[in-house]
Amino acid sequence: MRARNIKPAFFTDENIVGLSFAERLLFIGLWCEADRAGRLEDRPRQLQIRLFPCDQVDVDAMLDRLQQDGLILRYESDGARYIQVVHFTKHQKPHKNESESVIPEPELDTPKPTKSTTMAASEHNHGCVEDEPRSLPLGLIEDRGKRIADRGLLIEEERLSSPEPADAPGKPDLHGLVDAFHELCPSLPRILVLKDSRKQRLIKAHKQLGTEGLREMFARVEASDFLAGRQKDWRADFDWILKPEHIPKILEGSYDNRRTMRSNVNQALSIAERLEREEAQGVTV
């Protein structure tokens, strides 16, 4: 861990006092775990061991809460999961000998807004939170496809809730499919930006499976403890699911829970044994 600064205003900030004690302590602990750029690996179990060694807490859920309040950004890069503490570099003064960050920055696909945008970032002056009240938290906030991302940038994303234009026959409702993913796969990372590469994969998958087939696949992913991250410190994401080599395996049940498979096997064996007994009794009679 690293030594970090905390200012008195932290304890009365309106965005902090609404957090639980554990969430506040986690937020501070993230500063100590983060590198000089405010980034760290998103490993809830490891964070629990390091920050809450004697407490029964759900670090993953608390990280989600911090993200919802705009204090951190959880993101993925090249299949790895990371956390960015919002406004970290503005208010922390890392030691001059501290190593440079080797963690990739979050992808921000939208250009930096001017001060005339609907909501501009206000300056912090204590720790990594704001001093002035604000109507919405900075960081990552979903509001009909609009999110405020790391470093106070307002991301005017493509509106995930808007329908496809009526003059585009034959095209799938991409935004509706994204909504279905969010609805059916709540354990997986949400889609922040519907990039062209994701659109193309989604179109190909829709052409292969159709809307109902995709919904069925999303449901199977969420039901899988392995894919939903309930078994190990890894979980699938939207891009992983839509890779052509993964779709057949998901639909064929390769990632289904083992206990379900064992239950099916046991049931089949029980039926076979019953039939054998009935057949033997019939022969005896």
Q: 183 and 233, same structural domain?
A: yes
Q: What is the reported pLDDT for 81?
A: 92
Amino acid 86: pLDDT: 87
Same domain, 74 and 151: yes
Give yes or no: residues 195 and 68 share one domain: no
82 & 143 share domain: yes
Q: Say if 243 falls within a structural domain.
A: yes
Calculate helix-pair angle for 196-223, 174-184, nearest 10 degrees: 30
Domain of 49, CATH number, reads 1.10.10.10
Q: Within the chain, where are the H helices? A: 21-33, 44-51, 59-68, 88-91, 174-184, 196-223, 238-241, 247-251, 258-284
Kindly state whether residues 64 and 152 are assigned to the same domain. Answer: yes
Beta pairing partners, 155: 147
Cα 264–chain centre separation: 32
Is 261 within the bounds of a domain?
A: no
Query: Is 99:45 a contact under the CB 8 Å cutoff?
Result: no
Same domain, residue pair 15 and 132: yes
Same domain, 65 and 147: yes
Which domain covers residue 237, as residue numbers? 174-254
- pLDDT tens string, the chain, 285 residues long: the values are 778 878 788 888 877 888 888 999 999 999 888 888 889 999 999 899 899 988 888 999 999 989 888 889 999 988 899 999 988 877 777 777 778 888 888 876 433 333 333 333 333 444 554 444 343 344 443 443 333 333 333 333 443 444 443 333 467 889 899 999 999 999 899 888 888 888 999 999 999 999 999 999 999 999 988 898 887 778 899 999 999 999 999 998 888 887 555 555 566 667 777 777 777 776 544
Q: Do the domain assignments include residue 225?
A: yes
pLDDT at residue 55, rounded to an integer: 86
Kindly state whether residue 53 falls inside one of the protein's structural domains: yes
49 within a domain of the structure (yes/no): yes
pLDDT at residue 185, as a whole number: 92
Domain assignment present for 283: no
* Assigned domain for 194 exists: yes
pLDDT of residue 250: 92
List C-alpha distances in Å: 174 to 170, 178, 202: 12, 6, 7
What pLDDT does 60 receive? 92
Q: Could you tell me if 152 and 27 lie in one domain? A: yes
- DSSP secondary structure of 18-64: TS-HHHHHHHHHHHHHS-TTSEEE--HHHHHHHH-TT----HHHHHH
What pTM did the predictor assign? 0.40
Domain count, the chain: 2
Is 130 a domain residue? yes
Residues 188 and 63 in one domain: no
| Same-domain pairing of 85 and 23 | yes
Separation CA 19–CA 263 (nearest Å): 42
Same domain, residue pair 147 and 193: no
146 and 15 in one domain?
yes
> What local confidence, expressed as pLDDT, does residue 195 receive?
84
* Alpha carbons 87 and 149: distance in angstroms, whole number: 10
- The amino acid occupying position 100 is E
